[in-house]
Amino acid sequence: MKTVAVVIEEPGKLALSQLELTPPQDGDVVVDIEWSAISAGTERLLWTGRMPTFPGMAYPLVPGYESVGRVAETCRSAGLNIGDRVFVPGARCFGETNGLFGGAASRVVVPAERVEPIEESLEERGVLLALAATAHHALASRDAAPPDLVVGHGILGRLLARIALAKGFDPPVVWERAASRMGGADGYSVVHPDEDRRTDYRAIFDASGDSAILDASIARLAPGGEVVLAGFYDKPLSFAFPPAFIREARIRVSAEWKKPDMQAVDAFLGAQFLSLDGLITHRSAPEGALAAYETAFNNPACLKMVLDWRNLQ
């Protein structure tokens, strides 16, 4: 069984390649991918070679952890039917080619427990479920204060604001410097940080991925306030101690989503408390993957780039 996959052969070098798939075992499903999304954060680090080393990190690799497809083969224990539409958070089924994270391919073999059935009506918007669940995870920590400031109006910042509203919190303020990302707010305000004079924020959620963000955020905290690092940072983070000392600031790191976060997002979508509309801004056929990745990484107007695998030539 073969697949066509995006392969980052080495930093800065990408190809669309045919790969042999690992045969499915008991408990696996085969999924024909319809759409996969490009992460402008995590996958940029793979593309540039700046991803911190961790077990299994090596080139060549298949990126992607935001994919949607249909079950093509299943097993009795999977609880899935052929034709079911599912979210796939990546796969490791490409033989000697590493799956980091392995979702950018026309067909994947993946353990059934890893995939999530989704509503037919979501279609390509289903690729956003991982980011929505990540945003929910940041907001759902025990004893966490609701966000009253979100830093960054990219796709994660928008989902943080939308899910905060879905959870019944007051609308947060969102900071954004790029003029191309100032629009698109729904129920909350977006301002340039230089135009905001507040210094009483109780909870600041950073969705910018800027490693230099802590000093600017801590300076805006109320006493006892918290900065939540919801992005991914490839450089060391540091901060001036006296302002943090004066405010008794707290810093929290939010990691990747868990299954309850995905279930909560599904519930918000089902109740129409949450919308994923307007977040996919760019689309490409897989044959144009190189240009698509460059757009996703370099064009501030690109919130989310999606590869459409349905008509692969």
Determine contact, residues 89/134, Cβ cutoff 8 Å: no
Confidence check: pLDDT of 234 > 90: no
**243 with 157, same domain?**
yes
**236 with 296, same domain?**
no
In a domain, 263, yes or no: no
Domain span holding position 244: 131-253
**138 with 247, same domain?**
yes
**81 with 14, same domain?**
yes
Q: Which of 216, 237, 253 is the last residue of a domain?
A: 253
CATH number at residue 209: 3.40.50.720
Of the chain, the percentage scoring pLDDT greater than 70 comes to: 100
- What is the phi/psi pair of residue 248, to 5°? 50, 50
What are the structure tokens assigned to 28, written together?
Answer: 């696996």
Three-state DSSP state, 158:
helix
Confidence label for 100 from pLDDT (cuts 50, 70 and 90) = confident
User: pLDDT, tens digit, for every residue of 11-56?
Assistant: 999 999 999 999 999 899 999 999 999 999 889 989 998 887 777 7
Confidence label for 141 from pLDDT (cuts 50, 70 and 90) = confident
Three-state DSSP state, 121:
helix
In a domain, 269, yes or no: no
- Cα–Cα distance measured from residue 104 to residue 62, given in angstroms and rounded to the nearest whole number: 6
| pLDDT score at 53 | 76
**135 with 111, same domain?**
no
In a domain, 161, yes or no: yes
**167 with 63, same domain?**
no
Determine contact, residues 226/249, Cβ cutoff 8 Å: yes
In a domain, 123, yes or no: no
Domain count of the chain?
Answer: 2
In a domain, 273, yes or no: no
Q: What is the distance between the terminal CA atoms of the chain, rounded to a whole angstrom?
A: 17
Q: How many residues does the structure list for the chain?
A: 313
In a domain, 137, yes or no: yes
Average pLDDT in the 88-105 region? Answer: 93
Which of 45-59, 100-114, 162-176 has the weakest average pLDDT?
A: 45-59
From 31, 132, 24, 128, select the one nearest 84 (Cα to Cα). 31
- Cα–Cα distance measured from residue 111 to residue 271, given in angstroms and rounded to the nearest whole number: 29
In a domain, 271, yes or no: no
**248 with 146, same domain?**
yes
Maximal C-alpha separation, the chain: 61
Confidence label for 256 from pLDDT (cuts 50, 70 and 90) = confident
**111 with 138, same domain?**
no
User: pLDDT, tens digit, for every residue of 261-306?
Assistant: 999 999 999 999 999 999 999 999 999 999 999 999 999 999 999 9
pTM over 0.85? The answer is: yes
User: pLDDT, tens digit, for every residue of 159-168?
Assistant: 999 999 999 9
**152 with 235, same domain?**
yes
What are the structure tokens assigned to 213, written together?
Answer: 């963000």
